[in-house]
Structure 1
Amino acid sequence: MARGLLLLSLVVLALALVAERRAAFRNRFNASREVKPLDLLGCRLIKGIETGSEDLEILPHGLAFLSCGLKYPGIKSFAPHKPGEILLMDLNEEKPEPVVLPIHGDGLDRASLNPHGISTFTDEDNTVYLFVVNHPQFTTTVELFKFQEEERSLLYLKTIQHELLPKYLYVAELLGHKIHVFEKLADGSLKARKALAFDTLVDNLSVDPTTGDVWVGCHPNGMKIFFYDPENPPPSEVLRIQNILSSNPTVTQVYAEEGSVLQGSTVASVYQGRLLIGTVFHRALYCEL
């Protein structure tokens, strides 16, 4: 009898632990959150982007680079066999549309291009370089390109590969629902200044160089990203944070949508009243604010 009670107690304890772990998992992914739509006037889906626009970067003079076609284990892909691409949009045009940037140079396997994050650097000669996180065969590298503006193409320079590359220092803590703010000290070290908590999964961050506002692509319900259901798609959300270094930052929900228009937003960036919103695997939105 005592043995039976002990066994029953162990079973109950195990089930309680499983339930606790399951609840914690669901909380980290905001599995129960639903989105109340908040539409932006002047928005349109960007023609030609059908397989995601996970990250994007806008140069000060209005040229936008977008990394498209990310494929990653556990993430939905609408074109699993199509190589990824880097697109360019000129936001100075009246009706900007994306174009695929041709890639020149030897040493890059274009068929395995699987771009993720993207960043730019402009040197003193105004030459623009792109650093693109790439996942060929689901490994992690960083590809370095030189942007040839007259030709509207990319020149592949080299692949940066290191055993520590898969370990990132995130300012946006996706599953922690936080954005951390660090101060860079003179010796190159980082000092934590603050952490802002949100009721959403914060993804890529973009800083408006004019105002200092931080724009955030968010996943209101991260569970729907990893367990994709076309009948109940992942929603999208964009936040703007003003005066992030102050004691009382202003956080505004700029866009929210349950997934009927845009699924799985990851990034948002602005240029002179024009907003681009990218996604993990879906489409991209262009808005005039």
Structure 2
Amino acid sequence: MIKKAIAVVVGFIIIQFIVKILHSLELFKYVYNHTPGPCRIVPGQGIGYEDMETLPNGLTLITSGIVMPTASPKVHAYHKKHNRRGRIYLFDFNQPDKGIEELTIVGDQFNQSDFGPHGISLWKDNKDKVTVMVVNHDSTGDTLEKFVFMAKDKQLKHVHTYRDPSIHFVNDVAMDSENSFYFTNYAYYKSGFLHLLETIIPLAYGNLMYYDGKAYHKQYDGFITTNGLMLSRDQKYLYMAEPVTKKFYTFTRQKNGTVKRYQEFNVKTAIDNPTLDKDGNVLLGAHPIVWQILAHLDDPENPAPSQVIKLHMKDGVVTKMTEVLSDDGHMLSGSTVASLYKDAMLVGTVQHKLLYCEVRWMD
């Protein structure tokens, strides 16, 4: 009798777990296509345009050629077929018809042949010097690479490589000065199968870190796939996306760089990288159907829907949410980031194309 009762309970728990997984994969969800205006694909030779950030003058730096530690054999084959190479591209919103241009990386201590750029952050000082921080997945592990952007020469001068045990499986970075920054460790396991289990169960092994220029400090842990980061324009708040739970976090910042949780907002879609518009509102690239983005990450030939979400912000709090763009994956697969400048928007993807849209209507 006791054995039967235990079997029933165990069976119920297993069924409940399976139902939960099936629900989280969004198997029966459908997306409808709409854009904020006419859109077109930007020509280019890159594989994916995973993250980007736009300077006040409209110049946008874009990472391309990401190689995740969890990449499947199909992804590696796709990269080989298309001659993947890690690049940082430049796009000028003031001259959109020029498309993208690869920035030359200079510096004897940097190995560009082993470059897998992911998240990116820009810091502009009061003398207009632009420092660039890039998350790098290379063959030796994860690093954070610092460059100086030389716009006239269209070059990135490599300055420093950050290595530390706390830089484990990094997704994104957000600079709060030339020499200090926040970063997210996305997960713990780098094996494809173990990483999948960590995501599906899920296991809360992600964390948020801060480097103050001298030492690394853990701010929070216990997250499930900590992802994109962005500081508010006044630097009072730090924003973070968590795609598996579909949550958007706001943290308040202290003078020493430490952060405290302020708001936790359910966006109800798998959000990726945040950027800011001119008014300080947040734009997010997102994945509206989970099972399709998982299939796309396993095999880039499988299309996945794209989505751009706008979060209206006031004093670090989300006051309203609108959908800016939605596509079923045939025009654009696996959107990860969107950047808005004046009346135009650029949308990047994890391993597909780059989309430029004229913005004629947006709430």
Aligned to 2:267: 198
Task: Identify the residue that residue 303 of structure 2 maps to in structure 1.
Answer: 233
| Aligned residue-pair number | 284
Change in CA separation of 1:242 and 1:106 when aligned onto 2, cut-off 3 Å? same
**Contact 2:295 2:302 survives alignment (8 Å):** no
Aligned counterpart for 2:334 among listed residues 253, 264, 270: 264
How much has 1:16 moved relative to structure 2?
3.6
Is the CA contact 2:274–2:283 (under 8 Å) kept in the aligned structure 1? yes
TM-score (normalised: structure 1)? 0.89
Residues 91, 20 of structure 1: alpha-carbon distance in 2 compared, 3 angstrom cutoff: same
Deviation per residue, 1:166-191 (Å, 9 max, x gap): 33424111111110111112343322
Structure 2 CA distance, aligned partners of 1:143 and 1:17? 45
- 2:245 alignment counterpart: 176
Q: Name the structure 1 match of 2:61.
A: 65
Is the Cα–Cα contact under 8 Å of residues 49 and 65 in structure 2 kept in the other structure?
Answer: yes
Cα distance change of structure 1 residues 223 and 232 upon mapping to structure 2, 3 Å threshold? same
Instruction: Note if contact 2:46-2:84 (Cα within 8 Å) is conserved in structure 1.
Output: no
Would you say the 8 A contact 1:30–1:200 is kept in 2? Answer: no
Shift of 1:23: 3.0
Provide, for residues 183-217 of structure 1, a one-character-per-residue CA deviation record: whole Å limited to 9, x for no partner.
Answer: 11234332222111122001100012x21111011
- Which whole-Å CA distance do the structure 2 matches of 1:202 and 1:23 have between them? 23
Structure 1: how far apart are the matches of 2:281 and 2:252? Answer: 17
Is 2:19 the partner of 1:23?
yes
Measured at CA, do residues 12 and 282 of structure 1 come closer, stay the same or move farther in structure 2, by a change above 3 Å? farther
**Residue of structure 2 in register with 1:85 after alignment:** 87
Deviations 1:1-59 (A, max 9, x none): x6xx93x6665554443333333334444444221212332211110155111100100
SS in 2 for 1:218: strand
Q: 1:97 to 1:231 in 2, by over 3 A?
A: closer
Q: Deviations over 1:130-163 (max 9, x none)?
A: 1000000272110111111111011111211111
* Matching residue of 2:351: 281
- Greater length-normalized contact order (CA 8 Å, ≥ 6 residues apart): 1
Aligned partner of 2:319 among 249, 269, 274: 249
2:115 is the counterpart of 1:117: no
Asked whether the equivalents of residues 33 and 326 of structure 2 are also in contact (C-alpha less than 8 Å), the reply is yes
1:158 maps to which of 160, 163, 172: 160
CA distance in 2, matches of 1:143, 1:176: 29
User: Which amino acid in structure 2 is aligned with residue 177 of structure 1?
Assistant: K
* RMSD across aligned positions (CA): 2.4
